[in-house]
Amino acid sequence: MTAISAMEPLLPEESKVLENLAIDLVAKASTLAGRVNPVLAASIGDLVRSMNCYYSNLIEGHQTLPVDIDRALKNDYAAEPERRNLQKEARAHIEVQRLVDRGEAPSPVVSTEFILWVHREFCQRLPDELLWITNPGTGERLRVVPGELRQRHVKVGRHVPIDPDDIPAFLKRFAEAYNSPMLSTLRKVIAVAASHHRLLWIHPFLDGNGRVTRLFSHAWLRELGIGSDLWAVSRGLARQVDQYKKMLMAADEPRRGDLDGRGNLTQQGLNEFCEFFLKTCVDQVTFMKGLLEPAELLRRIEIWCEEEVRARRLPRGSWPLLKEAVVTGEFPRGKAGELSGYETRQARTVLSTLTDQGYLTSESHRSSVRLGFPAKIIDRWFPRLYVAPVT
């Protein structure tokens, strides 16, 4: 049996650097939501969830193109089994994050119940082929059971996670420590970073730990009022994937001497990982804040729209409708004539063209329309949202 103290320290030492990063994150995240209309923010949330699943899966070595994710959400799956399975994996991630974002997940986030729920909800949506892993040492095929804690010994790189029999006790200690009423708000923000490493260190499941942990971090940031539909840390982690994994491994190391804290694991390594994680969060909030600056967003869409009209891919009168969707979030279909300056029939043609191509969308043929984000325009409307990892 592994002593619970093997996971100590659970929090980094008090540090002005970490406190300042936490303050910066809280301040910047609080202003992000006010950048756009709430209805538009909800639509952008759908886009960000797709982006988050793309980057989270990319960290695991699974690359699913944005256009394939877009098609999966419309039940349009590829014929090739491998590509189709990756589409279903992406959709599973998006659906679970949507449940989190809508407040339909167990509460509190820092609990064994929530961690098991994420794994179960994600894995039960996967095709059976993705629920099997191969033991690299023996070649044995093992099935991953949704929501079931690991019952085998495993090795992750140089790290040998705890005995499977000890996982429930470690998860209990994990929840007690990070839910402590003694933690200030700032310390909880810092604890999000620390818990990200420690949950991966426990490695509670046979497979899926990375995605579960990143969804856990996303959910806890939301619970603290910092995370939102509008940004995701996975984008930053994926763009620095080699550094991310290097920092995780460094925090796995045992204490490096008498000046490295008093726990079993390295205090310095944990501090450095927390600094890396929080800097990545701040960077992603800053990036999305710039991307959603209203005047710049309108300018990008207007330039794109003018090009499409000149190329006769969109009818004249399209821009006022798109602008209205950006500024007000949504508008009734009957307003298309007033906005475009056209008679009813011609206004309907403009509106139907925009909805048919996915630039405007609605719940039904009669309900109000709002901005849509088909994959083909993401690079123009939201440049650099999808970029190659920096290794």
Q: Residue 343 has what pLDDT?
A: 86
- The per-residue pLDDT for range 59-114, each reduced to its tens digit, is 999 989 999 999 999 999 999 999 999 999 999 999 999 999 999 999 999 999 99
User: Is the predicted pLDDT of residue 137 greater than 80, yes or no?
Assistant: no
Topology at the third CATH level for domain 294-381: Arc Repressor Mutant, subunit A (1.10.10)
Let me know if the fold of 4-291 is the same as that of 294-381: no
Query: pLDDT class for 365, splitting at 50, 70, 90?
Result: confident
User: Is the predicted pLDDT of residue 388 greater than 80, yes or no?
Assistant: no
Domain spans in the chain, listed from the N-terminal domain onward: 4-291, 294-381
Q: How much is the average pLDDT of 349-365?
A: 93
| Three-state SS letters, the chain | CCCHHHHCCCCCCCCHHHHHHHHHHHHHHHHHHHHCCHHHHHHHHHHHHHHHHHHHHHHCCCCCCHHHHHHHCCCCCCCCHHHHHHHHHHHHHHHHHHHHHCCCCCCCCCCHHHHHHHHHHHHCCCCHHHHEEECCCCCCEEECCCCCCCCCCCCECCECCCCHHHHHHHHHHHHHHHCCCCCCHHHHHHHHHHHHHHHHHHCCCCCCHHHHHHHHHHHHHHHCCCCCCCCCHHHHHHHCHHHHHHHHHHHHCECCCCCCCCCCECHHHHHHHHHHHHHHHHHHHHHHHHHCCHHHHHHHHHHHHHHHHHCCCCCCCHHHHHHHHHHHCEECHHHHHHHHCCCHHHHHHHHHHHHHCCCEECCCCCCCEEECCCHHHHHHHCCCCCCCCCC
Query: pLDDT class for 342, splitting at 50, 70, 90?
Result: confident
What's the start-to-end Cα distance of the chain, in Å? 38
User: Is the predicted pLDDT of residue 136 greater than 80, yes or no?
Assistant: no
Cα 19 to Cα 65, 88, 222: the distances in Å are 37, 40, 19
Q: Residue 258 has what pLDDT?
A: 81
Q: Residue 390 has what pLDDT?
A: 47
Percent share of the chain, pLDDT over 90? 85
Phi, psi angles (nearest 5°) of residue 371: -65, 140
Q: How much is the average pLDDT of 177-188?
A: 95
C-beta atoms surrounding 111 within 10 Å: 17
User: Is the predicted pLDDT of residue 321 greater than 80, yes or no?
Assistant: yes
Query: pLDDT class for 263, splitting at 50, 70, 90?
Result: confident
Least confident of 36-40, 225-229, 257-261: 257-261
Averaged confidence pLDDT in the chain: 94
Given strand 360-361, what is the order of strands in its sheet? Answer: 330-331, 369-371, 360-361
User: Is the predicted pLDDT of residue 389 greater than 70, yes or no?
Assistant: no
Query: pLDDT class for 139, splitting at 50, 70, 90?
Result: confident
Sign of torsion over alpha carbons 7, 124, 76, 357: negative
Q: Residue 231 has what pLDDT?
A: 96
| CATH number of this structure's domain 4-291 | 1.10.3290.10
Between 63 and 191, residue with greater pLDDT: 191
Between 194 and 363, residue with greater pLDDT: 194
